[in-house]
Amino acid sequence: MFRSIAVLALVGSASAAAADYSSAEIGCTNTYNTVTCDFILTETACDANSLCLWKDDQGDLYCGLAADDEPDNLAAEQALLSDYGTCFSKGSETNCDGDCSWNEDNSSCDVTVTKVESVLDADGANGGTTAGFMTHAFIDINCAHRATTGIACEAVDGCALQTIGAETRCYISQVKYIKTVETKCGTNGAAARSTAQAAAGISSGANAAAPAMIIISALVGALAIFA
């Protein structure tokens, strides 16, 4: 999971130059493996997969990546800090425009998926890290606030219901998630891509070109403490 953007603001001495990011192969492998783990919905199945680790984030249970992708996440958070601050400061849905989009789930003004992509591309992030942050921006803006019914959630292209234990949420679909990573990673992380595709029931030859835990909503929500 990602540190809160508010914490980053307090320790603002931490730098995040392009050199802080992993290589494209490592970053894309980690993100494809995150997709694989993200859709494992039980602790038993998660523990049985060496790529994954069952995690408890203050009561939020989920299957996450076992590998350490924290340096890439911290670098990306630092790169996006100013843009999230700018959008958050707009305050209301009426004023949330330009490179910002309204997050109904948190009642906050967030950075658009397109802007997240352009900022991280300019910062030199590997494609996997960029795709991961784009994915969570997509979830926060388009899916998270949807009622947890198939009709309300899955009526939105790219959103799908996900149930972990007693909790059901409107999340991104496996297909949308994988397509987003493919778009940013190209041939990098190919072995991990095949694993993620197999888990989603997608043919390994179907390398879609459609454009676009951790989680950006947590980063933005933390700003309210200091507003």
Residue (of 215, 222, 213) closest to 8 by Cα position:
222
State residue 224's pLDDT score: 45
pLDDT tens, residue by residue, 73-128: 999 999 999 999 999 999 899 999 999 999 998 899 999 999 999 999 999 999 99
Domain range enclosing 175 = 5-226
Distance between CA atoms of residues 146 and 150, nearest Å: 10
Over residues 197-208, the mean pLDDT reads 71
189-194-200-204 Cα dihedral, nearest 10 degrees: 120
pTM: 0.81
Whether 226 has a pLDDT exceeding 80, the answer reads: no
- The radius of gyration of the chain's CA atoms, rounded to the nearest angstrom, is 17
Q: Domain total for the chain?
A: 1
150 CB neighbour count, 10 Å cutoff: 11
Residue carrying structure tokens 């041939």: 187
